């Protein structure tokens, strides 16, 4: 949960200080544009730049004080264990199905696409002793990581991108097309002339198995959810693994576990309305989604032994 001590009257007083998800803040930006007239539209965008400045300083502080700098944790084998174990907490049927698919690959390359602005992933990779492992299914084959981390929405001090997914999320009628371009993330990324968006898009379009970890399924990132859906739909062997953190999750009853799983499947599929999917397409995507609750095997360090 993020909050900022906003100091700019026009923007800060009209957006809730606390949001359940980062995407809530971005949605609030779009909604607040209803209160912005033609004369104050540029001031609104100036204030948003100030928000980015404040966020940058906040994230720098968090990065400096990161638990990654705590010597009591062992990060040396985190990447290796993640490659081996990220799917180990799937339900039995899903796990067996995924392992059967993995056996078909002679080589697996892991690409990291992060929507976080910090260098957390880079730090974990730099601390790791191993970035290549032998396939557990055929020791003649290898699994390895691509060490280049792709920051889809920019990074601290480097083109941080905050906004909405498309113009339907900008409720103000006084914004010019040029001003809208400064609020719509896909257009912001395109206008930045950086390679972030194309690199992330290429990684998705060349991938087969996708793992979502540490992200909300926010509507302001619909662009990416649609890209993933198209890729999952194109091949019956493609899979989408969505990791969900939910302390209240329980497997005590089949009905409750099924409903929790379907809730997250539906949350993802509901972001795909613009694709015009048939019911058959939606069912194909649903069958290719795996949900893992409270996964302890992804980028999780262990305490060092005394």
- The total number of residues shown for the chain amounts to 306
- Residue 22 — very low, low, confident or very high, per pLDDT cuts 50/70/90? low
- The residue ranges of every structural domain in the chain are 9-64+160-191, 73-155+194-303
User: Which residues, at least 6 apart from 249, have a Cβ–Cβ distance to it below 8 Å?
Assistant: 257, 260, 293, 294
**Helix, strand, or coil (residue 255):** helix
Taking the C-alpha atoms of 93, 94, 98 and 100 in order, what is their torsion angle to the nearest 10 degrees? 10
- Provide mean pLDDT across the span 145-162: 94
- Residue 305 — very low, low, confident or very high, per pLDDT cuts 50/70/90? low
| Helix-, strand-, coil-residue percentages of the chain, each rounded to 5 | 50, 15, 40
State the Cα–Cα distance between residues 177 and 182, nearest whole angstrom.
9
- Provide mean pLDDT across the span 270-290: 97
Ramachandran assignment for 299, one of left (phi > 0), alpha (psi -120 to 50 degrees), beta (any other):
left
- Provide mean pLDDT across the span 143-163: 94
pLDDT at 14 exceeding the cut of 50: no
DSSP class of 216: -
Query: pLDDT per residue over 34-46, tens digit each?
Result: 888 878 889 989 9
What value does the mean pLDDT of the chain take?
A: 87
Span 73-155+194-303 CATH architecture: 3-Layer(aba) Sandwich (3.40)
What does residue 241 show for φ and ψ, rounded to 5 degrees?
-105, 120
**pTM to 2 decimals?**
0.88
């Amino acid at each position: 949960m993020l909050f900022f001590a906003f100091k700019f009257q026009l923007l800060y007083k009209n957006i809730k200080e606390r949001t359940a998800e980062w995407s809530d803040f971005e949605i609030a930006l779009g909604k607040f544009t209803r209160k912005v007239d033609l004369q104050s539209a540029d001031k609104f965008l100036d204030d948003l730049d100030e928000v980015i400045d404040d966020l940058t300083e906040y994230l720098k502080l968090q990065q400096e004080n990161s638990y990654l700098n705590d010597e009591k944790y062992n990060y040396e084998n985190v990447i290796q264990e993640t490659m081996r174990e990220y799917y180990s907490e799937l339900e039995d049927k899903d796990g067996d199905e995924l392992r059967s698919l993995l056996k078909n690959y002679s080589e697996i390359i892991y690409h990291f696409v992060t929507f976080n602005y910090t260098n957390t992933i880079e730090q974990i990779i730099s601390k790791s002793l191993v970035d290549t492992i032998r396939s557990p299914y055929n020791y003649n084959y290898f699994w390895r990581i691509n060490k280049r981390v792709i920051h889809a929405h920019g990074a601290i001090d480097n083109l941080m991108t905050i906004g909405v997914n498309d113009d339907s999320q900008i409720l103000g009628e006084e914004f010019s097309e040029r001003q809208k371009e400064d609020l719509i993330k896909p257009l912001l990324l395109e206008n930045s002339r950086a390679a972030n968006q194309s690199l992330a898009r290429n990684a998705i379009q060349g991938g087969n198995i996708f793992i979502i970890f540490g992200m909300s399924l926010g509507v302001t990132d619909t662009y990416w959810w649609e890209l993933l859906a198209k890729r999952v739909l194109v091949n019956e062997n493609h899979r989408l693994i969505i990791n969900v953190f939910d302390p209240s999750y329980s497997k005590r009853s089949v009905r409750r576990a099924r409903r929790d799983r379907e809730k997250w499947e539906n949350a993802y599929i509901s972001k795909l309305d613009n694709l015009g999917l048939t019911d058959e397409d939606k069912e194909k995507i649903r069958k290719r989604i795996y949900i893992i609750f409270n996964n302890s095997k992804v980028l999780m360090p262990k305490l060092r032994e005394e």
